[in-house]
């Protein structure tokens, strides 16, 4: 059985590592804040001091960090993935990052006789915890076929979308859709509360009709409980929307609704809520 490396054990990464451990894989872990791996090590993961060490001791290396600059650092920095001998290894970046960086990593991997995939996911903290993530993959079909069974350990849907960078483009399309459902859910609550309606009854009713969607089902109940813990950070969603709009501009397409969602999440960050979950968008209207 392949030895797996996992770099980045945050909200979602830690759950993915647990699924891999339960499936019987040996998992080497690294995180910038070592304490975030303590529980995983108790559960059987093996701590490594650097991304280079993770890579040296693994056959397949996953990474899941916050921003494209973090991906750049763990791959190209001192003691990064590419500072190790990566010959024959498979490198899978699950960070929501830029298609251009995924393509750069693919080129470097090829030069070093390694293989790479970009494989961002959707499903948030619940999807990671339940092993029901949707994984969107870019890269070679041959490499994808070698790791598909591993990806299904923590995913309910895994699809190869095309060449390097295609996984990231698919994730941008996903985030564009989520931007619409998050703003729609938020304005629904604002409107219903102002109209004096029973919000729980409203959610039960519209959630059973054509307005039903993932954001409404999973995030609206958290808002009613004033639970703004991050299944997905505001700051990371803002990053994603900025990437989507930058890519749209490169393709000469205009996405006005996504631009407005970006502006709203920027306002939320400006108010100091960047470390809340994306459902905190309601705070632009409600004093919570």
Token pair belonging to 102: 């995924």
Contact between 116 and 106 under an 8 Å Cβ cutoff? The reply is yes
Spatial distance between the Cα atoms of 138 and 191, rounded to a whole number of angstroms: 40
Helices within the chain (DSSP H only): 11-22, 38-42, 51-56, 68-76, 99-111, 124-130, 141-151, 166-194, 199-206, 214-224, 234-250, 256-270
Helix (H) or strand (E) holding 60: strand 60-63
Give 128-173 as a 3 state SS string.
HHHCCEEEEEECCHHHHHHHHHHHCCCEEEEEEEECCCHHHHHHHH
Quote the CA–CA distance of 162 and 283 in Å, as a whole number.
39
> Token pair of 246, please?
């930058």
Which among 52, 100, 103 has a CA at the least distance from the CA of 73?
52
**Catalytic residue, candidates 52, 89, 171, 239:** 171
Distance CA(268)–CA(184), nearest Å, equals 16
At residue 274, what are phi and psi to the nearest 5 degrees? -65, -25
Q: Strands 26-30 and 46-47, how do they pair?
A: parallel
> 42 an active-site residue?
no
d(CA 207, CA 218): 11
Q: List residues with catalytic annotation.
A: 171
């Amino acid at each position: 059985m392949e030895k797996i490396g996992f770099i980045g054990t945050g909200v979602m990464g830690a759950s993915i590592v647990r699924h891999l451990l339960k499936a019987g894989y040996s998992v080497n872990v690294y995180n910038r804040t070592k304490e975030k791996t303590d529980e995983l090590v108790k559960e059987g993961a093996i701590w490594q001091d650097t991304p280079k060490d993770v890579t040296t001791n693994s056959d397949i290396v996953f990474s899941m960090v916050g921003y494209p600059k973090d991906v750049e650092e763990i791959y190209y920095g001192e003691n990064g993935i590419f500072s190790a001998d990566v010959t024959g290894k498979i490198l899978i970046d699950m960070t929501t990052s830029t298609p251009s960086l995924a393509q750069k990593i693919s080129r470097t991997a090829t030069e070093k006789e390694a293989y790479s995939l970009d494989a961002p996911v959707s499903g948030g903290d619940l999807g990671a915890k339940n092993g029901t993530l949707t994984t969107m993959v870019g890269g070679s079909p041959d490499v994808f076929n070698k790791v598909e069974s591993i990806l299904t350990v923590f995913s309910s849907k895994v699809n190869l979308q095309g060449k390097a960078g295609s996984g990231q483009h698919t994730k941008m399309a996903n985030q564009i859709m989520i931007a619409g459902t998050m703003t729609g859910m938020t304005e629904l609550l604002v409107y219903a509360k102002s109209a004096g309606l029973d919000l729980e009854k409203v959610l039960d009713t519209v959630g059973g009709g054509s307005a039903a969607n993932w954001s409404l089902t999973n995030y609206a109940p958290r808002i009613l409980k004033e639970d703004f813990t991050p299944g997905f950070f505001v700051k990371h969603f803002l990053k994603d929307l900025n990437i989507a709009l930058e890519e749209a501009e490169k393709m000469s397409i205009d996405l006005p609704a996504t631009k407005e969602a970006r502006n709203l999440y920027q306002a939320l960050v400006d108010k100091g809520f960047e470390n809340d979950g994306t459902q905190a968008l309601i705070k632009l209207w409600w004093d919570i």
